[in-house]
Structure 1
Amino acid sequence: PPAGISLGQQALWLVKAGRWDDSHDLCQDVPDPVGAWIHAYLHREEGDLGNASYWYHRAGKEVPETGVTLDDEWCQIATAIS
């Protein structure tokens, strides 16, 4: 990831770079709702909706509705933490 960006931004960068495991490891080091939201997103991406639901709850977020794509949600997170 580029230097000077937050841990949350690094986690988003890593997942877009195809480095899911690295993103997952990093978001666990973000001890706030942002880390939980990214963690939820990652588990939603892998299809583990039960685990994703847990992390959405920890983030204080609703599970995205059916029409919300992963790209839509990635952009929502990126905008929220920029």
Structure 2
Amino acid sequence: MTVGELLAELRNAKPDFVPFQPYVCGMPTADVPTGHDDPMLRAAIHVYFGDQNGAHDQLQPLEAMPEASYLHGIIHRREGDFWNANYWFRQARSIARQIGIDPEDLTERVQASPDPDNLLADDLLAEWKSLVDLRLRQLG
């Protein structure tokens, strides 16, 4: 599976949902399509749809994985908990290097933009895609 295939699947599941605006939280866990075996991928899907609680539930048993720490940082950034987001990103520096993104810089941009523009939303989605692409490659 590729990131593009996953995104097409997610768009078909919830075609009216616009993901990845900062602070978009709250899609109920029951509404999130999670037909994937990998808990990290399921957590990423919950994050995509703004279901922070569902993502947290998936990530808790994965705390030793740097990919999970990175995703945990994304959750806290979306909640506006910037210090905590950066804590988790520091736990996942190896992942940030692998995907070529500075998550703390993105966090700073979100914090400085109470009304985010499309470029920032695109960069946040690109970050999510890069993390998911890495995980899909790891899974083979």
Question: Same fold per TM (> 0.5)?
Answer: yes
Aligned mates of 1:52, 1:3 — CA distance in 2: 26
Residue in 1 aligned with 2:92? Answer: 59
Q: SS state of the match for residue 54, structure 1?
A: helix
**What secondary structure is seen at the aligned counterpart in 2 of 1:29?**
helix
Match status 1:12 vs 2:66:
no
- Which residue pairs with 2:9 in the alignment? none
Query: Following the alignment from structure 2 to structure 1, what is the Cα–Cα distance between the partners of residues 56 and 124?
Result: 16
Counterpart residue identity of residue 84, structure 2: N
Contact 2:36/2:42 (8 A) holds in 1: no
Query: Runs of 5+ in structure 2 lacking a partner?
Result: 1-33, 97-101, 110-119
Structure 1 residue 19 displacement after superposition? 1.8
Residue type of the partner of 1:17? Answer: F
What fraction of aligned residue pairs are identical, expressed as a percent? 26
1:51 alignment partner AA: N
Superposition deviation, residue 69 in structure 1:
2.9
TM-score, normalized by length of structure 2? 0.51
- The answer to whether 1:70 aligns with 2:124 is yes
Q: Unpaired segments of 5 or more residues in structure 1?
A: none
What is the correspondence of 1:24-35 to structure 2 with a 5 Å cutoff? 24-30=56-62, 31-35=64-68
1:49 maps to what in 2?
A: 82
Three-state SS of the structure 1 residue aligned to 2:55 is helix
Indicate the larger mover: 32-41 or 17-26: 17-26
The structure having more radius of gyration, on CA atoms, is 2
| Larger mean Cα displacement after TM superposition, 60-69 or 9-18 | 60-69
Q: May I ask how many residue pairs the two structures share in their alignment?
A: 81
Letter in 2 for 1:32: M
Q: What is the letter of the counterpart of residue 129 of structure 2?
A: C
Moved more, 12-21 or 33-42: 12-21
| Superposition RMSD in Å | 1.8
